[in-house]
Amino acid sequence: MKTLARSSQVFFLFGFLTYAASAIAQQYIFTNNNVANDNNSTTALTVTSDGALKVLKTYPTGGKSAGSGYFAISPVTSARTRLGSCLFVSNGGDSTIAAFQINLFNGTLTKVYGSPFSDGLTGAQQFGVGLASGNRVLFAGNTNNNSISVLKINSNCSLKLLKMVTVPASPAGMKVTPDGNFLIAAYIGQVDSFKIDSTTGDLTELGPFTTKGSAAGVEVSCDGTKAYFGDAASNTQVEVFNVSSSGELTELSNFTNKNGESSNNVMLSVDGTHLYVSNTMSNQITTLSVGSNGTLTYDSTVKLRKPGLYALGLATGTGLNLFVSEENNPEAIGVLTTDGGTLKEVTGSPFHVLKNGSDPAGLTAVPRACN
C-alpha cells in the first residue's frame, strides 16, 4: 500500500510538473491601455499557435491614465518571486502602480491587496511613468519630476516604496541588466547607469554619459555587457555602449540609416543575433544584425499594415514572434514572425485590443527570454 501511495504521489507530481511546464510555455501579452482622459486598464491576450492574438480579459488598474506619454517608456512590466509571477502597470494620471498576480495556466490576473501602490508622488505625470523590474526591486521613472522611485517587490507581488532618487533629466527608457546589478536609463539625450543595492534600494549613479543623438529607448544584451539605445531622430539611429563589470558605459558605435523615420524603441531577438527597431513616425520595423562587439549592420525594413498609425513599444517572449504596440483607435498590436533578418506580419495582424483614444499604449510578453 505504501509503495502504491508513493507511486501515486510521484505520478501526481510528474503530471503536475508536466502540466505546469506546458502552461508556462504558453505566451501571453499584457498591455497598459492608457485610455485617454479615463481610468486606466490592462488587457491580457494569449498567442495562438499561428501567431494570432486573442483577447482574454481587460482589468481595471484602479488608477488614472496619463492621457499621453513618451514613445520610449515601458509602462508595464513583469517580475518573478518565489511565490509566482507579478505584473505591474503604471498609472500616469495619479502616479500609482497597479500590481497583479499572473496565473500562468490561463493568463488570468488577480489584483494584489492594497493595489494600486503610490510611487511616492501624487498627481498626474503627463508623459507617463516608465517601469523596469529587477530581481527584488521595481523602478518607476517619474517623467515629470526628474526622479526614479525604488520599490521593493514582496513575494506576494505587493510593493513598498523604499526611496526616490533625483536624476539629471526626465527618464524615458529604463532597463535592468539581467543579473540585477545595474539600472540603465536614457533621458532623451544623455544616458546613465546606476549600481543597484537590491536590499536597501540605494542607487549609486555612475554617469551620466554623453551620446551622439537623443537616446530614448533602451535594450540590454542577455549577458549584460552591451546596452543599445534607440534615438529619437529623423532617421534610424541606434547607439551601442559597452557595460563594464563595474557598470560604466562606453560608446562603441553609432549606427545610422535613412530607411525609417525615428527609432525610439529597440528590442533584441531571443538569440541576441538581431536588433529590431520601431520606426515610429513611418510605421515600420527595421532589422539590424548584431555582430562582434555589438556592431550593427542593416538587414531589412518592413512597413506595417494599416490601420496602425505609429510603431511604438516592442516585445519578444520565448518564441520567434515580435510584438509591436501600434498607436490607433482602437489600440492595435502587430505580430511579426522572425526569420533571421527578415520579418513577416502574420495573417490578421494588427489585432485590436480596445478603444483608448489613440494614446500610446505599452505591452510586455510573459514569459520572456532573459530580461
* Alpha carbon distances (Å) from 128 to 37, 125, 141, 255: 13, 5, 8, 28
Q: Is the pLDDT of residue 320 over 70?
A: yes
Which residue, chain included where needed, has cell 499557435?
49
Distance of alpha carbon 339 from alpha carbon 347, whole angstroms:
16
If you average pLDDT over residues 137-159, what whole number do you get? 96
The amino acid at 284: Q
pTM: predicted TM-score of the whole model, two decimal places: 0.92
> What is the band of 21 on the pLDDT scale with cuts at 50, 70, 90?
very low
> Domain residues of the chain, as ranges?
2-366
Distance of alpha carbon 173 from alpha carbon 178, whole angstroms:
16
Give pLDDT, residue 11. Answer: 31
Q: Is the pLDDT of residue 283 over 80?
A: yes
Give bridge partners of residue 42 from the DSSP assignment: 59
> What is the band of 371 on the pLDDT scale with cuts at 50, 70, 90?
low
User: Buried b vs exposed e over 262-283: b needs ≥16 C-beta within 10 Å?
Assistant: bbbbbbbbbeeebbbbbbbbbb
Report phi then psi at 359, rounded to 5.
-75, 150
- DSSP of 197-258: -TTT--EEE---B--SS-EEEEEE-TTSSEEEEEE-SSSEEEEEEEE-TT--EEEEEEEEES
> What is the band of 318 on the pLDDT scale with cuts at 50, 70, 90?
confident
pLDDT tens profile 191-242: 999 999 988 889 999 999 999 999 999 999 999 999 999 999 999 999 999 9
Mention the CATH class of domain 2-366.
mainly beta
CA 367 to chain centre: 12
Percent of the chain at pLDDT exceeding 70: 93
Distance of alpha carbon 186 from alpha carbon 184, whole angstroms:
7
Specify whether the CB–CB gap between 237 and 258 falls below 8 A: no
The amino acid at 307: P
CA 194 to chain centre: 19
Lowest model confidence (mean pLDDT) among 20-24, 73-77, 339-343: 20-24
> What is the band of 108 on the pLDDT scale with cuts at 50, 70, 90?
very high
Give pLDDT, residue 139. Answer: 98
Give bridge partners of residue 339 from the DSSP assignment: 342
Tell me the three cell numbers of residue 339.
Answer: 526569420
Percent of the chain at pLDDT exceeding 90: 80
DSSP secondary-structure letter at 18? H
Tell me the three cell numbers of residue 15.
Answer: 503530471
